[in-house]
């Protein structure tokens, strides 16, 4: 959840002015989605046929199941409009990939670009060559070179066929585990503990393999990157930027901001709304974790990744400031920032949508635009509260995992009554607000 918050909560403030209220990207792209799914289905079927040829028996059939299930899940996401087609972002990504291809013939030629309505700075590439870029990357990274470095890393995964290797590993592990499970059934003592040990071993092994693949993708990705016309040092700067996303808490939402936007003409602000839940008597040490969190991680710490890259590529040891964004990148960065609320609303993250709207308003950005989203999100929170499913859209307070500011916000939201939520929703959905 903290990562979702950080996708909009930059630690510096800049004002965006479009001259008029920004209009979110239109997702009425039924024809494009239909054509994409048709082509994706054909490509995926060809991939399944190839795997059956390359891997006979149990491995081939299990791989086919994986790819068929993936196609079903992916089709749902496309139909749900989780991606946008022919957007302003496509040309930029295509240009960066073309620059990478120029001196790297090993990069596949059949890459298809897809922009996801996701605020987290991430990208991934499917086995068929579909390259997904989250909109959050444009908002979080600082320039073309940094975006190209993320693309290079994902191409490293693609060229190394890490997805296929992971799936084959799962199939092989399943077969080995079946034998172990049979032996456990024959043993009448400590069955539960033995079964848990098998599960733990499998999870740890998968985490270790994933971390190894990340390091490999970094190395190969950097080779692709430095063979192109990008500034080498930006590869490390990108990792540092992503490290910020993983480690820095969102900026504080001030009490004055609550009082400013929730002291309404027909509903005065109440101090009791900010009352915090008391967790002082809860003993967090009473529960002992059965799984080591570090062993569960699929990605190595970014600091370790940076150290590793500097060790094998000495030219990366120099510290260089981030390059200034090009005009074309800066324009896309502004659009991605303005799409933050539409994206949260689309993913039904209404609680975070309210929190982010308040932070934008606190910074003085596009007041009428973010007031509108404040109203839209409160309307959804009202419906959820009325239908007794608010937990689906609003977090509970978790003192160990959340910033003080976000805990304060959650206490505020849970302290509001149903009628009070409706009054806020109605006020911010009217033109008079």
pLDDT tens digits along 39-69? 999 999 999 999 889 988 888 999 999 999 9
**Please, which residues have CB within 8 angstroms of residue 19's CB and are 6 or more apart in sequence?**
none
**For the ranges 18-22, 282-286, 412-416, 426-430, which has the lowest average pLDDT?**
282-286
Q: Is pLDDT larger for residue 374 or for residue 365?
A: 374
CA dist 137 and 155 (Å) reads 16
Q: For residue range 314-357, what is the model confidence (pLDDT) as tens digits?
A: 999 988 899 999 999 999 999 999 999 999 999 999 999 999 99
pLDDT of residue 17: 43
CB 234 within 8 Å of CB 323: yes
CA dist 79 and 258 (Å) reads 37
Query: pTM (2 decimals)?
Result: 0.86
Q: Residue 295's pLDDT band (boundaries 50, 70, 90)?
A: very low
> Is the model's pLDDT at 360 over the cut of 80?
yes
CA dist 299 and 307 (Å) reads 14
H helices within 55-161, ranges in order? 57-79, 90-101, 136-140, 144-159
pLDDT of residue 1: 54
CA dist 353 and 361 (Å) reads 12
CA distances from 4 to 123, 155, 350, 398, 408 (A): 15, 25, 12, 16, 17
Torsion from C-alpha of 107, 111, 115, 118, nearest 10 degrees: -60
């Amino acid at each position: 959840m903290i990562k979702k918050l950080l996708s909009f909560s930059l630690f510096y403030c800049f004002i965006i002015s479009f001259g008029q209220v920004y209009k979110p990207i239109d997702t009425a792209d039924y024809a494009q989605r239909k054509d994409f799914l048709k082509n994706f289905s054909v490509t995926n079927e060809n991939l399944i046929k190839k795997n059956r040829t390359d891997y006979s028996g149990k491995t081939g059939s299990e791989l086919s199941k994986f790819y068929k299930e993936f196609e079903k899940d992916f089709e749902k996401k496309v139909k749900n409009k989780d991606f946008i087609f022919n957007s302003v972002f496509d040309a930029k990504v295509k240009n960066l990939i073309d620059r990478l291809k120029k001196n790297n013939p090993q990069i596949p030629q059949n890459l298809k670009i897809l922009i996801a309505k996701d605020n987290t700075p991430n990208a991934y590439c499917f086995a068929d060559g579909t390259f997904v870029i989250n909109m959050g990357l444009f908002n979080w990274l600082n320039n073309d070179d940094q975006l190209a470095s993320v693309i290079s890393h994902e191409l490293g995964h693609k060229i190394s066929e890490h997805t296929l290797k992971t799936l084959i590993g799962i199939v092989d592990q399943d077969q080995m585990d079946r034998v172990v499970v049979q032996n456990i059934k024959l043993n009448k003592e400590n069955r539960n503990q033995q079964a848990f040990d098998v599960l733990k071993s499998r999870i740890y092994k998968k985490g270790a393999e994933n971390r190894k693949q990340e390091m490999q993708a970094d190395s190969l990705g950097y080779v692709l990157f430095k063979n192109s016309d990008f500034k080498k040092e930006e590869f490390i700067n990108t990792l540092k930027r992503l490290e910020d996303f993983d480690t820095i808490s969102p900026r504080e939402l001030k009490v004055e901001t609550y009082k400013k936007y929730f002291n309404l003409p027909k509903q005065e602000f109440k101090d009791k709304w900010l009352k915090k839940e008391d967790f002082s008597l809860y003993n967090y040490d009473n529960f002992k974790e059965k799984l080591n969190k570090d062993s569960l991680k699929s990605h190595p710490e970014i600091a370790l990744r940076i150290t590793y890259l500097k060790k094998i590529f000495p030219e990366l040891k120099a510290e260089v400031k981030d390059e200034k964004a090009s005009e074309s990148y800066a324009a896309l960065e502004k659009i991605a920032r303005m799409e933050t609320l539409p994206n949260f609303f689309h993913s039904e993250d209404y609680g975070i949508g309210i929190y982010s709207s308040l932070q934008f308003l606190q910074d003085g950005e596009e007041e009428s635009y973010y007031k509108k989203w404040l109203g839209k999100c409160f309307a959804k929170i009202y419906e959820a509260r009325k239908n007794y499913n608010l937990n689906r859209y609003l977090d509970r307070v978790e003192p160990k995992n959340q910033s003080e500011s976000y805990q304060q916000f959650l206490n505020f939201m849970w302290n509001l009554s149903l009628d009070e939520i409706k009054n806020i929703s109605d006020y911010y959905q009217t033109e008079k607000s």
